[in-house]
Amino acid sequence: MTFVLVHPYRYKNGNLEFLLIKRKGLSYNWQGVTGALEKDEEPIDCTKREILEETGYIPSFITQVYFPQIIIQEQKIKVISGGRHT
């Protein structure tokens, strides 16, 4: 499944402001707009849809940024804590 992560921002009075949304049921988790692509949907179309669904706003412009996908595999790590090895 492919997802989009959107970081809406604006300049207001010379300051850069980002929109963070508090996730329902997770009082400690704030994030940008996120969502999964629907069947045959392009990422830019998903981005526009998710922004509208989650904020009610239609963005004036969108810039796409691609990041390489990083997959972290589980590794055994020796943790040293309080002088004891685990």
Q: pLDDT tens-digit profile of 48-83?
A: 999 999 999 888 888 877 766 666 666 665 555 555
At 86 the pLDDT is: 43
At 37 the pLDDT is: 93
pTM of the model: 0.67
CA distances from 49 to 2, 24, 63, 73, 80 (A): 15, 19, 15, 32, 47
At 73 the pLDDT is: 63
- Per-residue pLDDT of 16-55, as tens digits, reads 999 998 877 777 788 889 999 999 999 899 999 999 999 9
